[in-house]
Structure 1
């Protein structure tokens, strides 16, 4: 449960912010880009250190912690993260990416564009 809470309280939210400022809002706030990129790098370092101890995040068995964290690493490109700098994360990422259920899930088509809420004038 510890690693699931780590993902829910830190890894996911901070990587979401990194993707927001580095991919979707680039050039608007140098401070935010640097802050969230640095935090993403730190969190990938924490994950890499943990994955040096076991095959998966919480143990040598695939768990809900891996299921919760992996999709965030699947968008490492949006976070300006090179997984090759984190060899244990890269190993873990590739192992999960090869799982048949993950392959099937990733192939589910999504809309090309998510409709955005319209702004209404007062």
Structure 2
């Protein structure tokens, strides 16, 4: 039986204890994409909860659809912003990726999760996105 994006993946509950809680407000979180030698930036605001990021596709659009890079899968990654009594967790999960997904140069495989910190660089396909609050 194939897994859908909503299925639990065995072992995903074993996220490292080194995660950090962040007090940053969810309204001020962005993915920033630099284009044209870093001179023009596109900013995508993230919301609390699940945000799916992928290649622009009219039939199955993502919450954030990126154009101009055919090496990105249609529903490549998700970022979950989860609030609790201590602050916020920022969790990236790879949903589908024909090409490697990296966080700060380290490859993250399909189904794996990675806690993010403000300033982390996410690479999907040939596109770099900075996870930031400015």
TM-score w.r.t. the length of structure 1 is 0.23
Higher helix share: 1
Bigger CA radius of gyration: 1
- More contact order relative to length (CA 8 Å, sep ≥ 6): 1
Higher strand share: 2
